[in-house]
Structure 1
């Protein structure tokens, strides 16, 4: 199938296999950390502290991580970051197994993981571009999205099985071992192309100037900065929607979250069918995303909301995958790490701010109002991007990619 054409590349197949194991382990550990903190303290506020600590480095330092990615060989850099992740997971396991895993130590490990993440995330996404031909990048990014979205379902489910069967502590050891799969893949991978990097490459300001001069890069970044702030806060909205609006329980929340995840997998796979992403596709998916969120907001019951969330997930992650692909296709290799870091920042780094705003809107007008605010952000971004005329890419090195711009 056209969706899976990136798997024709041997380096990408190795990387894909490693990511399947590692991503599942990552989400397994996220679930286990929450359970461990609740076991230690019984406090939801303590759990919130741990989660916030992990996201703080991305909020404060996220854009600077790409500068590191542009200065070093990506394959070697990723081997280092994955090894550090493995050590951190093994550390939590050792601390918990010996009875020394207090909340302060878990917070420290979470912060250290967040620091590693500001380098690892842009490096990982930029590395994918060196594993496939340019025409297969959309397929590679979409398959990478499928792995991550599938892991959001598989990881927590596996954690639940392990917690019941052997307890929470072994989950951390399983995650540590899962990183060995990625490291093994990286050791044998030989990229099809190597990104140009320099010890004297510019910083964040240089990357921002680069993006401002290229509408093909600026438009997706601007769209995500608006959409990501208000529309991607489902962990804040869905629990309240399930409990207060539909008067449900944990099962209701699980159903809504599962439908969103299933839709996201479908959306990521759908983007793989597109060989040359176009700006109009971004506009259309953002528009459908907004309409689907309106449908969730006005849904009279759980079943209709679940159906609308299926479409919401598909549109949301189709939009995300298309935007990420477009940015990478239209960024010169020596800037790719920093531009992807800016992308990660507007997509993930703004989450704490967006969560606060969404929580405030939900408290003021209920979860339906928060969903409508997210829908408005999508529709505004789509309308603004539709009016922008995107010229051909100015870099001669990427002339073969200019058809993608239109």
Structure 2
């Protein structure tokens, strides 16, 4: 009788536990993502304080994520995920209790943000490394597509659910601490639930590898990526893409909505269109990824070239529906490709190194996102928003063309199963 690991994906108990628990936890995350900023603003009304809280949550992820990947490889992704979930639940329950006892303070909000950021730096790489050990390797594309699609769905539905909790305050001008405490408590319970589901998962045993010092293990992961020329080329290319794309979407898009489309409602429409397109692309990738796997490198560059053209067009829009249409297509292409990228890395890298490889991949985006946002903000003082989108799109297109002409990326096919 086949084990859970060897059964088809949709009948695979491991995948059902991972998907169900992960979806509940990701929905819960949105409660804290909304409640923490509101807590800071309720206490101070100061945008600088809010920025510090966001930085305290984000900085540990960028700084510690590679170490988190090393720990996941050494002690197993499942064990690290469990500890991360328990730590997050404990942090949120303590925060909930202190808010209910009327002990809210800015220092408490800062401490919670920092602690949550540290815990996630270990949980995120473990979460991306566990899938190849839990599902059939031939089903990785579909599993990644469904799992990432569930995350995108949580980003769309979670804030609406959280708003219902935070908005249930009978017309008060400020969100009361009881509502904020309820939001944090809900997130804590979802972490505990997902930890229980994770305990039901059985993983494929890995070959025992020699254990070195923690920093030697981290260096070994970096050396592995450096020696693998296709992997190294793609990581360098993705760093360029992250810098050119993330800043315009994070900073310039709100400016575009404000200057040309006259309001926050238009920004919501643009972001919703991009999110919906991303979800559709991820689900499509889970259903039909074989063609893309055979032509991974060429498809990667082609999609980025098209996205570059779409960004240039975005700088010329005059109505919200034009922007929504362009961003829906951009999201669909990006979502389709994201699933393929995760699957390619998971298939190419040995399981014993996967936590570090995925941590480095995500660290590229976590580290470059604030730099890209800062550069975009500075450029918007000198350029119009239309010029910035045109310039960013043109640079992305140029990067894709240069990679096609001068690197081996176009010749990369789907990686062999390890």
What TM-score do you get using the length of structure 2 for normalisation?
Answer: 0.88
2:368 to 350, 355, 371: 350
Check if 1:243 corresponds to 2:246.
Answer: no
Alignment partners' CA distance in 2, 1:305 and 1:400: 39
More displaced 10-residue stretch of structure 1: 91-100 or 21-30: 91-100
Q: 1:377 to 1:204 in 2, by over 3 A?
A: farther
Q: Which residue of 2 aligns with 1:335?
A: 353
Equivalent residue for 2:37? 34
Corresponding residue of 1:103: 106
For residues 286 and 295 of structure 1, the distance between their equivalents in structure 2, rounded to whole angstroms, comes to: 14
- Where do 5+ consecutive residues of structure 1 fail to align? none
CA distance in 2: counterparts of 1:83 and 1:183, whole angstroms: 7
SS where residue 165 of structure 1 aligns? coil
Change (3 A) 1:391 1:236: closer
* 1:135–1:284 distance in 2 versus 1, CA, 3 Å: farther
Q: Decide whether the 8 Å contact of 1:56 with 1:114 is kept in 2.
A: yes
**Max Rg structure:** 2
Equivalent position of 1:385 in the other structure? 403
* 1:75 and 2:78 matched: yes
1:46 is aligned to: 49
Question: Which deviations, in whole Å up to 9, do the C-alpha atoms of 1:341-396 show, x marking residues without a partner?
Answer: 10010122321111111211223213333333432343234224323336999xxx
What value does the CA root-mean-square deviation take over the aligned residues? 2.3
- Evaluate the alpha carbon distance shift between residue 370 and residue 83 of structure 1 in structure 2; reply closer, same or farther with a 3 A threshold: farther
Instruction: Measure, in 2, the Cα distance between the counterparts of 1:19 and 1:191.
Output: 16
Check conservation: 2:39, 2:109, Cα contact below 8 A: no
Structure-2 residue corresponding to 1:217: 231
Q: Is the 8 A contact 1:362 1:368 kept in 2?
A: no
Q: Is the 2:260–2:318 contact (alpha carbons within 8 Å) kept by the matching residues of 1?
A: no
Q: 8 Å contact 2:315–2:389 — kept in the other structure?
A: yes
Identify which of 60, 64, 67 aligns with 1:64.
67
Count of residue pairs the alignment pairs up: 393
Q: 1:260 aligned to 245, 256, 274, which one? A: 274
CA spacing shift, 1:236–1:116, aligned 2, 3 Å: same
Compute the displacement of 1:399 (Å).
8.4
The verdict on how the C-alpha distance between 1:391 and 1:370 changes in structure 2, with shifts beyond 3 A counting, is: closer
Report what 1:16 is aligned to: 19
Query: What CA distance in whole angstroms lies between the structure 2 residues aligned with 1:196 and 1:338?
Result: 17
Structure 2: 5+ residue stretches without partners: 1-7, 170-178
Partner of 1:146: 149
Contact (CA 8 Å) 1:59, 1:350: kept in 2 or not? no
In structure 2, relative to structure 1, the CA distance for the partners of 1:343 and 1:262 (3 Å cut) is: same
Pair 1:390–1:300, CA change in 2 (3 A): closer
TM-score, normalised by the number of residues in structure 1: 0.90
Give 1:221 shift: 1.4
Rounded Cα–Cα distance in structure 1 between residues aligned with 2:367 and 2:211: 26
Matched residues in 2 for 1:355 and 1:195: separation?
42
CA displacement at 1:198 relative to structure 2:
4.8
